[in-house]
């Protein structure tokens, strides 16, 4: 029997697989995609995420990445403010390349891998002690199989079939945001800084990538009607600080659209199941720390999985909830505050005025968003 079945081969699933396989656990990772695959993301690792990778011996996953020295934040009515990472560095790397590197590391560590296999539903033992005992999966030919495991880790994204089937996660009514992102060539004025352009009701993230590529992504509560490419280009062209820089830019490939983004997860699992990554809770990528949440959250899930396998305890999901609260509560509150500022026009105007008087406050916010305390 498999010791741990992991649904999802994104960063959370593969890092959990790496840590468990290193400990001698029999791990199988299953994903519906074939890697490398495209993934809508800001494509940046903040210094806290980089520090996690280095501590776990996974710095090789960022080979070929573009170093980032900090962030620049702009608003409509105030001058741009730069925040440099002190004695630390972030990286810009496409999720296609980063995820594939982590998946290869998981296989090298000894994890099994099945691609183009959909994890469809949990296998639940509804006896005296209700518990997850594995999952049903659909193979490439559409055939359904039952995979039994001592423990399952659901790292299968925001719309996790496992978490939703067990009513452990849901899409809340608020906040409801959509993201539209694409890659561009020949964007002017790019530097070694990531960019966050905050506007009333929406924001636009811009990040440099290796090879002169630029990632541009708009997050808005009102995606509007029309093709995603038209919506994205229209919002960039309406922006006074971006229109000239993108005047000669060419979109590479098709844009991606995702939403609504938010996911609420009150309990990261149940007996026989742990939840990691976006499946364990997600709002939007405004503060650029999503990958650190995924990486560190996967580590916490792997720690609890090892406790289950070694000691047979049945409260691993409760212990994981406590660990996640200790680790992330401060950042969750910070992120909620930042989103509220963007949503409330008066709060945003006050923040702009404050930034003009005391730019050091914004610089401190940038460093905190970059998880420099963790780095």
pLDDT value of position 357: 60
> Is pLDDT larger for residue 305 or for residue 125?
305
Q: Band of the pLDDT at 338, cuts 50, 70, 90? A: confident
- Dump pLDDT digits (tens) for 286-303: 778 889 999 999 999 999
> Is residue 375 one of the residues assigned to a domain?
no
Partners of 224 in beta bridges: none
> Is residue 11 one of the residues assigned to a domain?
yes
- For residues 163 and 127, membership in a common domain is answered with yes
- For residues 237 and 199, membership in a common domain is answered with yes
> Is pLDDT larger for residue 84 or for residue 108?
108
User: Among 10-14, 128-132, 232-236, whose mean pLDDT is lowest?
Assistant: 128-132
Q: What's the token pair of residue 75? A: 């608003």
Partners of 194 in beta bridges: 71
For residue 347, pLDDT beyond 80: no
Q: From the DSSP assignment, how many helices (H) and strands (E) are in the chain?
A: 9, 20
> Is residue 146 one of the residues assigned to a domain?
yes
Domain boundary pick from 227, 258, 289: 258
Overall domain count for the chain:
2
> Is residue 283 one of the residues assigned to a domain?
yes
Query: What is the CATH classification number for the domain harbouring 36?
Result: 3.50.50.60
- For residues 117 and 212, membership in a common domain is answered with no
- For residues 239 and 251, membership in a common domain is answered with yes
For 215, residues 6+ apart whose C-beta sits below 8 A from its C-beta are: 42, 43, 92, 94, 181, 182, 183, 184, 205, 206, 207, 208, 209
Burial of 6 (0-12, 13-18, 19+ CB in 10 A): buried
Question: What percent of the chain has a predicted confidence (pLDDT) above 90?
Answer: 69
- For residues 154 and 15, membership in a common domain is answered with yes
> Is residue 273 one of the residues assigned to a domain?
yes
- For residues 144 and 247, membership in a common domain is answered with no
- For residues 34 and 118, membership in a common domain is answered with yes
Q: Band of the pLDDT at 314, cuts 50, 70, 90? A: confident
Domain boundary pick from 208, 224, 258: 258
For residue 218, pLDDT beyond 80: yes
- For residues 168 and 300, membership in a common domain is answered with yes
- For residues 221 and 254, membership in a common domain is answered with yes
> Is residue 321 one of the residues assigned to a domain?
yes
User: Among 28-37, 77-86, 227-236, whose mean pLDDT is lowest?
Assistant: 77-86
Burial of 97 (0-12, 13-18, 19+ CB in 10 A): middle
- For residues 157 and 273, membership in a common domain is answered with yes
pLDDT value of position 223: 75
- Dump pLDDT digits (tens) for 250-290: 999 999 998 888 899 999 999 999 999 999 998 777 778 88
> Is residue 196 one of the residues assigned to a domain?
yes
For residue 17, pLDDT beyond 70: yes
Domain boundary pick from 325, 340, 355: 340
Query: What is the CATH classification number for the domain harbouring 236?
Result: 3.30.70.2450
Task: Give the mean model confidence (pLDDT) for residues 232-253.
Answer: 96
| Strongest mean pLDDT among 82-86, 112-116, 221-225 | 112-116
> Is residue 104 one of the residues assigned to a domain?
yes
- Dump pLDDT digits (tens) for 139-194: 888 889 999 999 999 999 999 999 999 999 998 887 788 999 999 999 999 999 99
CA–CA separation, 156 and 165 (whole Å): 12
pLDDT value of position 32: 95
- For residues 204 and 236, membership in a common domain is answered with yes
- For residues 198 and 270, membership in a common domain is answered with no
Range of the domain at 241: 178-258
CA–CA separation, 279 and 50 (whole Å): 22
């Amino acid at each position: 029997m498999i010791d741990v079945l992991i649904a999802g081969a994104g960063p959370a699933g593969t890092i959990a697989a790496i840590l468990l396989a290193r400990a001698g656990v029999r791990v199988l990772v299953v994903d519906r995609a074939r890697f490398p695959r495209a993934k809508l993301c800001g494509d940046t690792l903040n210094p806290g995420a980089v520090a996690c990778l280095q501590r776990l011996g996974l710095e090789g996953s960022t080979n070929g990445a573009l170093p980032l020295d900090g962030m620049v934040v702009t608003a409509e009515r105030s001058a741009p403010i730069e925040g440099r990472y002190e004695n630390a560095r972030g990286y810009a790397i496409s999720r296609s390349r980063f995820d594939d590197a982590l998946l290869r590391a998981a296989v090298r560590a000894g994890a099994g891998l099945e691609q183009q296999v959909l994890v469809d539903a949990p296998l639940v033992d509804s006896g005296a002690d209700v518990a997850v005992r594995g999952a049903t999966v659909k193979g490439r030919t559409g055939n359904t199989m039952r995979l039994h495991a001592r423990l399952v880790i659901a790292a299968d994204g925001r719309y996790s079939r496992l978490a939703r089937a067990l009513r452990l996660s849901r899409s809340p009514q608020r906040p409801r945001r959509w993201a539209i992102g694409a890659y561009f060539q020949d964007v002017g004025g790019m530097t070694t800084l990531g960019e966050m352009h905050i506007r009333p009701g929406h924001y636009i993230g811009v990040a440099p990538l290796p090879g002169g590529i630029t990632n541009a992504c708009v997050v808005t509560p009102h995606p509007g009607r029309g093709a995603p490419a038209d919506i994205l280009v229209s919002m960039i062209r309406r922006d006074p600080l971006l229109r000239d820089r993108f005047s000669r830019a060419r979109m590479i490939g098709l844009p991606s659209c995702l939403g609504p983004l938010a996911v609420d997860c009150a309990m990261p699992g149940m007996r026989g199941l742990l939840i990691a990554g976006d499946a364990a809770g997600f709002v939007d990528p405004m503060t650029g720390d999503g990958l650190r949440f995924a990486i560190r959250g996967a580590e916490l899930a792997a720690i609890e999985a090892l406790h289950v396998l070694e000691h047979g305890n049945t409260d691993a999901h409760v212990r994981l909830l406590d660990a996640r609260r200790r680790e992330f509560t401060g950042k969750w509150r910070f992120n909620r505050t930042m989103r509220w500022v963007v949503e409330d026009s008066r709060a945003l105007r006050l923040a702009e005025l404050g930034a003009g008087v005391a730019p050091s406050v914004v610089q401190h916010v940038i460093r905190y968003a970059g998880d420099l305390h963790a780095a």
